[in-house]
Amino acid sequence: MSSPLTIEDFGSRIATVWSELRPATRGLVERAMQSAGNSSQNPRNFQYDARADLELSRFLTVLDDRASEKSDALDADIASKVRSVADTCAEVLLEKTESAEVFAQLVKRAARQRDYKRIDVLADALNSRFPPSEICELARSEEVIVRELANEALARCPISILAGLLSDPVDAEIARSALRRQVIEYGSEEARQIVNVLDQVDEL
């Protein structure tokens, strides 16, 4: 019987990043791995913070890089395990993150895998979890699919939230575009009135 795989079997880069994670962050991944096969365990109740977000994002990057390597040196069992840990890490981030940068990472990952169900889940998370300023940041992304998801989310935002962004010099134009989209796609009379006022101000 073969011995169980250890993190060192994944390669030195992954092992190094793993060793640099705080114990609490490593525990979060380990509990998530255990709960993948045991529905009675729930990792949602454990503490999560912005630093864990960054740590898991970096760990996911090195896992995905390793999994994508076309090398005969990567044993099939190890490759499968690397992908499994990467998927678990992505699941934790999907459930927890409120970072625009990490969200973009997850969207690009799902797009590479042609995982359209995951993209739909990520899209749903935008309005329910992310503050408007973060969604606006995503709407400026260089990635087309990230921009599209963000703009769709903004088009579903309450008009009061979009109106509040109009005073922000960075996000105002994106909010204005979202209001125009609400007029065109949803026939919102309230959005139309705001857009008309903005247009009149521009003409002054």
More confident residue, 30 or 2: 30
Residue 115's nearest CA partner among 140, 86, 81, 82 is 86
Mean pLDDT calculated for residue range 172-185:
94
Q: Residue ranges per domain, the chain? A: 1-96, 100-204
- In whole angstroms, what is the distance from residue 199 CA to residue 118 CA? 39
Mean pLDDT calculated for residue range 27-44:
70
**For the ranges 8-22, 63-77, 109-123, 125-139, which has the lowest average pLDDT?**
63-77
- 68 pLDDT exceeds 90? no
- In whole angstroms, what is the distance from residue 79 CA to residue 23 CA? 25
pTM equals 0.84
- In whole angstroms, what is the distance from residue 61 CA to residue 82 CA? 11
Residue 194's nearest CA partner among 177, 186, 204 is 177
**For the ranges 18-22, 53-57, 69-73, which has the lowest average pLDDT?**
69-73
Mean pLDDT calculated for residue range 87-95:
93
- 38 pLDDT exceeds 60? no
CB 176 within 8 A of CB 195: yes
Distances (CA, A) of 34 to 16, 85, 105: 22, 11, 24
Residue 43's nearest CA partner among 56, 57, 55, 28 is 28
- In whole angstroms, what is the distance from residue 59 CA to residue 21 CA? 9
**What is the chain's mean pLDDT, rounded?**
87
What pLDDT digit, counting tens, does each position of 146-158 carry? 999 999 999 999 9
Q: What residues have CB less than 8 Å from 41, skipping those under 6 apart?
A: 31, 34, 35
CB 32 within 8 A of CB 92: yes
**For the ranges 39-48, 50-59, 125-134, which has the lowest average pLDDT?**
39-48
- 73 pLDDT exceeds 80? no
> Which pLDDT belongs to residue 72?
59
In the block, residue with structure tokens 């969207």: 107
- 39 pLDDT exceeds 50? no
- 86 pLDDT exceeds 90? yes
pLDDT band at residue 40 under the 50/70/90 scheme:
very low
